[in-house]
Structure 1
Amino acid sequence: MKRIVAVALMASAAGLAGCDRTGVDSTVTAEPPPAAPPTATVASETPMTPPADTASPAARPIVEGAPAFAVLYPGGEIEAPPTVATSAAGPGGLVAFRTDADPATVVEFYRARAEAAGLSSVMAMNMGDARSYGAAKADAGANLQVVASPVEGGQTSVQLSWSAGG
């Protein structure tokens, strides 16, 4: 199940990466522009502690320096260390966590944070009790994707990916 959700998340991220609402010609050229190769790192296995300057202890950034819309859902428990990467397009990452909140509540939380950060909704999908949502800020390259689905024990499994843009 996790693999299916991860594949769906990656597919939606790839789809969102191609979204551009500026109307600029987006034809593919034979030679891509030179860019620094992305560097990926996996955070350590040690428990994460929120940065000292966190405004709200209930919603802390996933990793230090993450944008305001890339926070851990209040009460969420991270399942594995977040994967973070930096490229010419800016920093970004992916994290999976569980929470006791229902999928619709989780998605609404991230929609509100994305809109408050100036991102526009570009995708929303419901499939049974599972929910997914995507937002982007085309001129800055920032984006957010969240997939929330119910799992055994009444919890919700959440996959969150983001890019802070450049």
Structure 2
Amino acid sequence: MKRTLAAAGLMAALTMAGCSQAPAEEAPAAAAAAVDVAAPAAPASAEPPASAAPAAAGAPAFAVIYPGGAPSGPATVARGPDGPGGILSFTTDATPEVVVDFYRRRAEAAGLASVMAMNTGEARAYGAAASDGSGKLLRVVATPVEDGPTSVQLDWTAGR
């Protein structure tokens, strides 16, 4: 439960930061978090299989469950002004770096551009969006759990 709340809090903070129109003053606590807008470097590790199950029925090719991931329940899906989208939480034995790299490569293959990457401790977050105004969006937050698997929160918008 704690990791779900932490992931939800981090996702909310990322969403709010991405939606802000005015520059915000950096809080002292935020200075401890390393923020990097460039795409993260690919980790030296085994490549996961290219095939992966869709995160939900009708989800775009970039919104898949990391191979071997175990969803904690069904995806929550909805339709908004930018098209259908959803959110899914799951766990995996892969490291946060490997998970984020997997989604970065899938996003780029689908024509999305990296718009945000953030490392806080061992947690990793990544976001990508279409530059064509279609509304396609991908965000992933991967958080290691002490003596456990990596907790992942994936959300997407398929676009108009």
Same-fold call, TM > 0.5?
A: yes
Give the superposition deviation at 1:58: 3.9
Question: Which residue does 1:66 correspond to in 2?
Answer: 59
SS in 1 for 2:79: strand
SS in 2 for 1:123: strand
Question: Which residue does 1:113 correspond to in 2?
Answer: 106
Divergent runs of 4+, >6 A:
none
Distance 1:17 1:115, change over 3 A: farther
My pick for the range that moved more, 147-156 or 113-122, is 147-156
* TM-score, scaled to structure 2: 0.75
Aligned positions of 1:11-50 closer than 5 A: 11-16=13-18
Contact 1:12 1:145 in 2 (8 A): no
SS in 2 for 1:152: coil
Between the two proteins, the alignment pairs up a number of residues equal to 130
Question: Which residue does 1:4 correspond to in 2?
Answer: 6
Residue 161 (str. 1) matches residue 155 (str. 2):
yes
Which structure is larger by alpha-carbon Rg, 1 or 2?
1
Question: Which residue does 2:135 correspond to in 1?
Answer: 141
Question: Which residue does 1:93 correspond to in 2?
Answer: 86
1:94 & 1:10 partners in 2: Cα distance? 13
Identical positions, percent = 54
Give the superposition deviation at 1:154: 3.8
Specify the code of the residue in structure 1 equivalent to 2:120.
M
Distance 1:16 1:68, change over 3 A: farther
- C-alpha distance after superposition, 1:99-134 (max 9, x if no partner): 000000000000000000000001001111110000
Give the superposition deviation at 1:88: 2.5
Unaligned runs of 5+ residues in structure 1 are 20-55
SS in 1 for 2:89: strand
Contact 1:130 1:147 in 2 (8 A): yes
1:160 & 1:14 partners in 2: Cα distance? 16
My pick for the range that moved more, 81-90 or 68-77, is 81-90
- C-alpha distance after superposition, 1:10-54 (max 9, x if no partner): 3323444568xxxxxxxxxxxxxxxxxxxxxxxxxxxxxxxxxxx
2:58 & 2:103 partners in 1: Cα distance? 18
Unaligned runs of 5+ residues in structure 2 are 22-48
